[in-house]
Amino acid sequence: MMEPNRTITIVRKNQRDFLSDKAAVDYYEYRKPFLTYLLRMGKDPEKAKGYSPYTVCQTGHRTARFDLWVWENRGGYKAPPDQDDARAYMEEVAFRDVTESTKGKILGALGRYSKWLQHKYNRDEWEFSWNFQSGGGNNGPRDFLTKQERRKIRQAALGKDGTPNYGTDNDLLEADPDSWKFTSLVWTSLDAGLRPVEVGNARVGWCEPENGLLRIPREDSAKNEGNWTIGITDRTATALERWIEERENHQRYADTDKLWLTRHGNRYGSNELSRILKDLCDRGGISYENRQMSWYAIRHSVGTHMTKERDLAATKAQLRHKSVKTTMKYDNVPVEDRRDALDNMG
C-alpha cells in the first residue's frame, strides 16, 4: 500500500502480517491522513508548510514500528495509541543499545505523531521524561525547575485561585482569592511530582493530610504498577485539608471523588496543566523562552533535587518508579559535588 509517488509506505509488510484483513483496511484509512498531514502542513500548520518526502518517509517508518510494538506488547491492534503507550515505548527505547541520535529521531517522530493526534482528535500532546537529541547530546531529564524557581512557583500559586460560578451567562471564572484549589494542586505536584495523568486521576481518598501522606492505589496509578505512599510537606498537607473542606461546597464535586476538576467539570490534562505552569512562571518572573516548560518540569525538579539532597532510592520511591533504570537519569550530580564527597569519604 503506497502513496502515488511510491516512496511513502502507508501500511508496511510486517504490519500487514500482524493484522487481519479488516484491521489492515481500517489501519490504512487511519494512517493515510497522518502521512498526508505531515506532507502538506505538519511542519507549520498555520502556514500550511509540510515536511519533505524524505522526513515523512522516515517518520512513517519510525511511527509504524511504534504502532506495531504497541499491538505486540499492549493488547493487540488499536488505533490511535495513547500517552501511556508512547511513554512505555520510549522507556524501552531509552535502554536500547543504539546511538543517542537514533533515540532522538524516534522521539522526534513520536512528537510529530502526537501533534497530528492533537490536530485530528483533540488529544493532549504527549510528554516524555527523556530528552534525546537526534544529533547526540544529553539524555538526562528535560527542563526542570531550580530550587529558587520552585519557591517562586509555590508562592505564585497562592495568588492563582478561583472557583467557577456556574449560572452566569458565559460560564465565567470568578476569582476567589481565598480558594485553595490551585494552591493545593500545585503544591501537591511540587511535593509528589504528579504526572499530568495523576493530577487528572487524583481522588480525595488518596489524601491523608493529618499524616502528611498521599496513598495512590494501584488502580489509580499512572502505570497500574502498585500501591504507592508519598510524603508531603506540612504546608501542602494544610493546603490539601483546606481544599478538601472547600470543595464540599461546590456542586460540581457532588457526585465525584475527583480531587480537582476544571471549570467545565472535566479532569485536568497536559495542555491545561502546562498553561497553568506557564501562567505561574509569568507571575513569578520565571523566563521559559527556549525551555520545554511542560508540567513534567515540576516532576523533574523533584527527581533532580531529591537525588541531590538524599539518594536515588528516595527519588525512586517519591516518583513511583518501578525500575531503578528510570531513576538513573537523575543521577547527574555535578563533578565538584562528587569531589567534595570523595574528600568527605577520606
Full pLDDT tens readout for the chain, 346 residues:
434 344 688 999 999 999 999 999 999 999 999 999 999 999 888 888 998 888 899 999 999 999 999 999 999 999 999 999 999 999 899 888 888 888 889 999 999 999 999 889 988 888 887 777 665 444 445 577 888 998 999 999 988 765 444 333 333 333 466 889 999 999 999 988 888 888 998 999 999 999 998 888 877 665 545 678 888 889 999 999 999 999 999 888 999 999 999 888 888 888 889 889 999 999 999 998 877 788 888 888 888 777 777 666 666 667 666 666 665 666 655 545 545 554 554 4
Write down the pLDDT at residue 192: 87
> Any idea where the domains of the chain sit in the sequence?
13-121, 147-335
Tell me what pLDDT residue 169 has. 34
Topology annotation, domain 13-121: DNA polymerase; domain 1 (1.10.150)
SS (H, E, C) the chain: CECCCCCCECCCHHHHHHCCHHHHHHHHHHHHHHHHHHHHCCCEHHHCECCCHHHHHHHHHHHHHHHHHHHHHCCCCCCCCCHHHHHHHHHHHHCCCCCHHHHHHHHHHHHHHHHHHHHHHCCCCCCCCCCCCCCCCCCCCCCCCCHHHHHHHHHHHHHCCEEECECECCCCEEECCCCCHHHHHHHHHHHHCCCHHHHHHCEHHHEEHHHCEEEECHHHCCCCCCCEEEECCHHHHHHHHHHHHHHCCCHHHCCCCECCCCCCCCCCCHHHHHHHHHHHHHHHCCCCCCCCCCCHHHHHHHHHHHHHHCCHHHHHHHHCCCCHHHHHHHCCCCHHHHHHHHHHHC
What's the whole-model pTM score?
0.57
CATH for 147-335 is 1.10.443.10
pLDDT of 302:
81
- Which pLDDT does position 8 carry in this prediction? 84
How confident is the model at residue 160, as a pLDDT? 72
